[in-house]
Amino acid sequence: MVRQIVVIGASASGIEAAAAARKKDRTAEIILITQEKTAGYSRCGLPFVIGGHIPSFRDLVVYPPAFFQMQKLELRTQTKVRAINTKDKTLTIQTKENPTTTQALPYDVLVIATGAEPYMPPIKGKEKAGIHSLRTLEDGEKIDAAIKSGAKSALIMGAGLIGLELGAGLVERGLKVTVVEMLPQILPQFLDADMAKLIQQHLEEKGIKILLNTVVEEFLGETQVSAVKANGQVLEADLIISAFGVRASTQLAKEADIALGETQAIKTNARMETDTQDVYAVGDCAEAPSLITHRPTCAQLGTIAVREGKVAGTNAGGDYSLFGGVLASAVTQLFDIQAANTGLTQTAAQRNRIEVVTATVSSKTRASYFPGAKPIKIKLVVEKESKRIIGAQIVGGEEVAQRINGLSFAIQQGMTIQELAKADTAYAPPLCETWEPMVLAAEMILMKLR
């Protein structure tokens, strides 16, 4: 009998799940459903199209229709799932062509990859038109159109990764950009305050105005938002952009009595199964445990989405695969500076009542005498009892991402700070220093532990 595998969502995790299922089950009918017009594009690339680094939004489509055809995946775009009926194993769906009727779509295995949606706090006037966000291709096109129609200034609410990447892109397009952040630092989920400060300085040098400890209180304007009131002050801008963060899209799951976890994302086990038979959840809508705290997390990163998708798809296709957990390694490029994180920040460790020793080392990305060397700063977070590395943050001009990957491997393998201090590293004058700064940071921690 031909099995029917249905995936709700056709972005990173959903497509990865479908493709993995196809590898394991050559005959199954595999259907992907998305309410979006375009499937298989890179959301992470959106700020870089706006910034002008990538010529067109269309370039972000990494899975063109031909991919789905070749993999024999049936893609249904502009289709809404209205309900998941776990008892009779069907979905209630609604197409764009027939918006007044619904139909039932049976599944043998369901993968929920509904992603996340921009979060809007309960701010006065939030129902007004003209508040942008940046989650979908259409969102990007709207911002781009506004710039082309003459927008000269932007106010971004939220200093997370998306807000700041977008802010940098808007500056590159010639706009005057102000970022408003409620917390006393930028990138609060991503970096400790000391490391975030370095990024903030760079952004300010590039002309972004950053207002910390600033709470948005009201959206101002007749029907169209033209300004916000924040900390009592009126901030006007041609473009008002909400980047308060995203929340897991769990409405469908909740209504179908599929359990959510403590992070308010969908609860999963190591196979990425939900608490409901034959239903998996992956990507930005799903929980997975932290490799360090072992508590559920919902890191909402593309790399985690594809890994979870692959595991769920492999299982959905009848094979066996486990998802180990997340370190939430992430990296960003903002103008000329790169910032990355893996594992826990010092702040996150303290929140989890883990005692840590930290050290920060400043170095260069090339031999001191080699022209073009850029500064780099590495912070290590080490658990006090085991002396294992549990987190790392890097801010620097180049070669940041792969250092974080190396430290991610180190954390994953339970590397102690002593082991890192003795690690064998490569060296060439145009590419790095003789003493790798990651190793120097480890030595600094050893000294603190003595």
Q: In angstroms, how far apart are the furthest CA atoms of the chain?
A: 71
Among 132, 202, 377, 403, binds a second copy (CB under 8 A): 403
Residue ranges of alpha helices (H) inside 265-412 are: 302-316, 346-351, 401-412
Assess whether 285 carries a catalytic annotation: no
Work out which of 139, 370, 374, 375 binds a second copy, going by CB under 8 A. 370
The b/e string for 177-214 (b: 16+ C-beta within 10 A; e otherwise) is: bbbbbbbebbbbbbbbbebbebbbebbeebebebbeeb
Q: Is position 71 an interface residue for a second copy (rule: CB under 8 A)?
A: no
Among 77, 95, 269, 303, binds a second copy (CB under 8 A): 303
Confirm or reject binding of residue 20 to a second copy (CB under 8 A).
no
Distance CA 445, CA 358 (A): 6
Residue 189 and residue 278: Cα distance in Å, rounded?
A: 33
For a second copy, the binding residue among 18, 180, 301, 382 (CB under 8 A) is: 301
- If you search the block for the tokens 């397009």, which residue do you land on? 173
Stretch 306-345 residues interacting with a second copy (CB under 8 A): 306-307, 323-324, 326-333, 338, 340-342
With 0-12 / 13-18 / 19 or more C-beta atoms within 10 angstroms meaning exposed / middle / buried, residue 294 is: exposed
Tokens of 446: 């050893």
How many residues bind a second copy, per CB under 8 A?
69
Q: Which is nearer to a second copy, 164 or 252 (CB)?
A: 164
Tokens representing residue 287 in the block: 């929980």
Please report the DSSP string for 349-362 in residue order: HHHTT--EEEEEEE
Stretch that binds a second copy, among 71-79, 204-212, 347-355, 406-414 (CB under 8 A): 406-414
Instruction: Establish if 395 lies at the interface with a second copy (CB under 8 A).
Output: no
Binding segment (CB under 8 A) for a second copy, from list 66-74, 79-87, 109-117, 426-434: 426-434
Piece of the chain touching a second copy by CB under 8 A; list 152-160, 224-232, 251-259, 416-424: 416-424
The least distance separating a second copy from the CB of residue 279, rounded to whole angstroms, comes to 23
Report yes or no: 397 and 337 within 8 Å, Cβ to Cβ: yes
> Which of residues 30 and 168 has its CB atom nearest to a second copy in the complex?
168
Q: Which conformational region is residue 78 in: left (phi greater than 0), alpha (psi within -120 to 50 degrees), or beta?
A: left
User: Which amino acid, one-letter code, is at 298?
Assistant: C
CB of 128 to a second copy, least distance (A): 32
Residue with Cβ nearer a second copy (184 or 324): 324
* Contact stretch for a second copy (CB under 8 A) within 39-47, 171-179, 235-243, 346-354: 39-47
At closest approach, how far in Å is the CB of 441 from a second copy? 13
One residue of 7, 28, 60, 279 binding a second copy per CB under 8 A: 60
Nearest to 367 by CA among 414, 421, 434: 434
Of 129, 245, 239, 235, the residue nearest 173 (C-alpha)? 239
Q: How many CA atoms lie within 13 A of 53 on its CB side?
A: 17
Catalytic residue among 44, 285, 298, 432: 44
Task: State the minimum distance, in angstroms, from the CB of residue 104 to a second copy.
Answer: 34
**By CB under 8 A, residue 226 contacts a second copy:** no
Q: How far is the CB of 70 from a second copy (least distance, A)?
A: 17
Map tokens 């005959």 to a residue. Answer: 27
- Interface with a second copy, residue 14, by CB under 8 A: no
Contact yes or no for 248/284 (Cβ under 8 A): yes
How near is the Cβ of 398 to a second copy at its closest, in Å? 8
Check binding of 435 to a second copy (CB under 8 A).
yes
- Binds a second copy by CB under 8 A, chosen from 70, 129, 234, 431: 431
d(C-alpha 195, C-alpha 392), whole Å: 11
Active site residues: 44
Instruction: Name the site residues for a second copy (rule: CB under 8 A).
Output: 12, 42, 44-45, 48, 53-54, 59-60, 62, 291, 301-304, 306-307, 323-324, 326-333, 338, 340-342, 367-371, 399-410, 412-415, 419-420, 422-432, 434-436, 438
